[in-house]
Amino acid sequence: MAQQIDLLIHNIGTLVTMRGTPGPRKGSEMSEVGAIPNGAIAVSGGLIAAVGTEADVRTALEGAAIATEYDAEGLLATPGLIDPHTHLVHGGSREHELALKLQGASYLEILAQGGGILSTVRATRKASEDELFRQAKRSLDTMLEYGVTTAEAKSGYGLTLEDEIKQLRVAHRLNQVHPVQLVSTFMGAHMVPEEYKGRADEYVQLLIEEMLPEVKRQGLAEFCDAFCEHGVFTVKQTERLLAAAKSLGFSVKLHADEIEPIGGAELAGKLGCVSAEHLLAASDSGLEAMQRAGVIAVCLPATSFNLRLTNHARARRMIELGLAVALATDYNPGSSPTENIQLAMTLACLNLGMTPEEIITAVTINAAYAIGRGDRAGSLEVGKQADIVVFNAPNLAYLPYHFGINHVNTVVKLGRIVVS
Ligand code: NIG
Ligand code: FE
């Protein structure tokens, strides 16, 4: 029987495949993007059936029945973008904090006054599951329009078992109905809730004894994450929690050394976290510990921009040390109220000094590995998911260069055209 091809995307001016040996791309490997001029991609059953130059793909498909041909008009195509760090599900918004910020209040000052994360906790607790679903769906629609085909979604604005489960259920439901595939992270250790003020150890105990086992039992999250920061959770508390999460079978990640260098990166190395995020203040020895343990560094340049910080994650140093770097929006209502990963890509270029090749690596294959999806997403290779973006761009450098606009022309998710 003739091979059945559902979709053939042809006339791709530059096809960035990210093909290579399995595993995140570390250090200088981040510059190898597997670009093919005059490319084509054939899709069958939601997966990639053939990829290469158009001439090679057409030869491979000889005799195949092709249902739909799509002309990419000489544009740039890449793997679907992956946003590996978002706080997608939350109630309300925090534009009222802008005035405080303009008066010079810092993120931790607003938080210490009971605002910040805690104000979103109040709004999220008040919201019904359906309200949260509607709000998160709008954001997920935006992410898709900007080329994101897989994203991570953290809980962490409930901080009671019931309210954390409510958030995780929203992500679970969205995952069943929305083209963007979600990977869920339990982040009950996002903040010490008001009712536990001054009793962080007791709250950590509650997380370990009640919340983690129940989230696991319901199968609502693959990862567990914690905000290890001065005034939030100490290194010791974070270690206790994440060690317990690991023993229950969660993969672990960490908000580490965002504002103050308290040893979060070192802890991520010690625990063998899949990833550590933020890392603006991470020390060289912390980064080296991560490198030795194969922890992926997830940089969040939209957050440092939005917090009006003058320092940024030291992506160049990370790459020099041989770390795998991924990029994400950190979409959340406080420190990074944007779903726009293309903006994060521009900021990674201008503020972190990353090259266009390193940037696309960071939002595709390395982002996939940062959320445990490297085996099926993040690169365009035979047998992997047919998640593809065609950009209104002549080449890779054009994406971070021409900034602030949406470059997406077409998005294909699991072989289906979902944005055009
Ligand atoms: O990744 N740093 C901690 N958590 C989020 C911010 C959450 C918020 O402000 O609502 C972050 O930046
Ligand atoms: Fe975050």
Residue-wise pLDDT for 260-272, tens only, equals 899 999 999 999 9
Mean predicted confidence (pLDDT) in 28-44: 98
The mean pLDDT of 380-384, rounded to a whole number, is 98
Sign of CA dihedral 334, 339, 345, 350: negative
> Which pLDDT does position 1 carry in this prediction?
61
CA distances from 27 to 249, 321, 359 (A): 29, 7, 12
Atom of ligand 1 nearest to the CA of 120: 10
Closest atom of ligand 1 to CA, residue 336? 12
Nearest CA to ligand 1 atom 3: 227
* Cβ of 396 less than 6 Å from ligand 1: no
Say yes or no: CB of residue 257 within 6 Å of ligand 1. Answer: no
Q: How far is the CA of 231 from the centre of ligand 1 (A)?
A: 13
According to the annotation, is 157 in a ligand binding site? yes
First to last CA, the chain: 32
Q: Where in the chain is the domain with CATH 2.30.40.10?
A: 4-80+379-419
How many angstroms is it from 229 CA to the middle of ligand 2? 12
Written as six digits, the tokens of 325 are: 């770097």
Which residues have CB under 8 Å from 152's CB, separation 6+?
Answer: 83, 84, 85, 86, 182, 183, 184, 185, 223, 328, 370, 371
Q: Ligand 1 centre and the CA of 407: distance in Å?
A: 27
Q: What is the pLDDT of residues 350-360, one digit of tens each?
A: 999 999 999 99
Average predicted confidence (pLDDT) for the chain: 97
Q: Is the pTM of this model over 0.90?
A: yes
Q: Measure 330 CA to ligand 2 centroid, in angstroms.
A: 5
Ligand 1 atom nearest the C-alpha of 258 is 2
Q: Contact, 386 vs 43, CB < 8 A?
A: yes
Would you say residue 2 has pLDDT above 80?
Answer: no
Q: Is 255 annotated as a binding residue?
A: yes
Gap between the Cα atoms of 206 and 378, Å rounded: 36
Query: In angstroms, what CA-CA distances link 38 with 16, 67, 379, 413?
Result: 11, 21, 18, 22
Ligand 2 centroid from CA 189, angstroms: 12
* Whole-angstrom distance, CA of residue 321 vs CA of residue 294: 12
* 117 in contact with ligand 1, CB cutoff 6 A: yes
Q: Distance (Å, rounded) from C-alpha 373 to C-alpha 225?
A: 17
User: CA 172 to CA 161: how far, in whole Å?
Assistant: 16
Gap from CA of 245 to ligand 2 centroid (Å):
19
Q: DSSP 3-state assignment of 373?
A: coil
Nearest ligand 1 atom to alpha carbon 330: 1
Structure token pair of residue 102: 């303009």
Sequence ranges of the chain with CATH classification 3.20.20.140 = 81-370
CB 388 within 8 A of CB 77: yes
Name the E strands within 222-374. 223-228, 251-256, 275-278, 296-299, 325-327
- Here the ipTM equals 0.96
φ, ψ of residue 43 in degrees (nearest 5): -125, 135
197: Cβ contacts below 8 Å, ≥ 6 apart: none
For 118-173, write each residue's pLDDT tens digit: 999 999 999 999 999 999 999 999 999 999 999 999 999 999 999 999 999 999 99
Would the annotation count 128 as a binding residue? Answer: no
Whose CA is closest to 10, among 67, 72, 75? 72
If you take atom 1 of ligand 1, which residue's CA is the nearest one? 330
Q: What is the pLDDT of residue 47?
A: 98
Give pLDDT, residue 56.
Answer: 98
- Which of 83, 86, 87, 121 is the best mutation target for the ligand 1 pocket, counting ligand atoms within 8 Å of the beta carbon and taking the most? 87
Residue 54 confidence (pLDDT): 98
Q: CA nearest 159: which of 183, 123, 135, 130? A: 123
Question: Where does residue 330 fall: left (phi above 0), alpha (psi -120 to 50 degrees), or beta otherwise?
Answer: left
**Are 389 and 9 in contact, with CB atoms under 8 Å apart?**
no
- Asked if 345 contacts 400 with a C-beta cutoff of 8 angstroms, the reply is yes
Q: How far is the CA of 9 from the centre of ligand 1 (A)?
A: 39
φ/ψ of 162, rounded to 5, equals -60, -45
> Can you tell me which atom of ligand 1 is nearest the CA of 157?
10
87 labelled binding-site residue: yes
4-80+379-419, what's its fold?
A: Urease, subunit C; domain 1 (2.30.40)
SS3 98: helix
* Contact by Cβ (8 Å): 342, 146: yes
Does the CB atom of residue 330 touch ligand 1 within 6 A?
yes
Question: Domain 81-370 maps to which CATH number in 3.20.20.140, 2.60.40.60, 3.40.190.10, 3.30.360.10?
Answer: 3.20.20.140
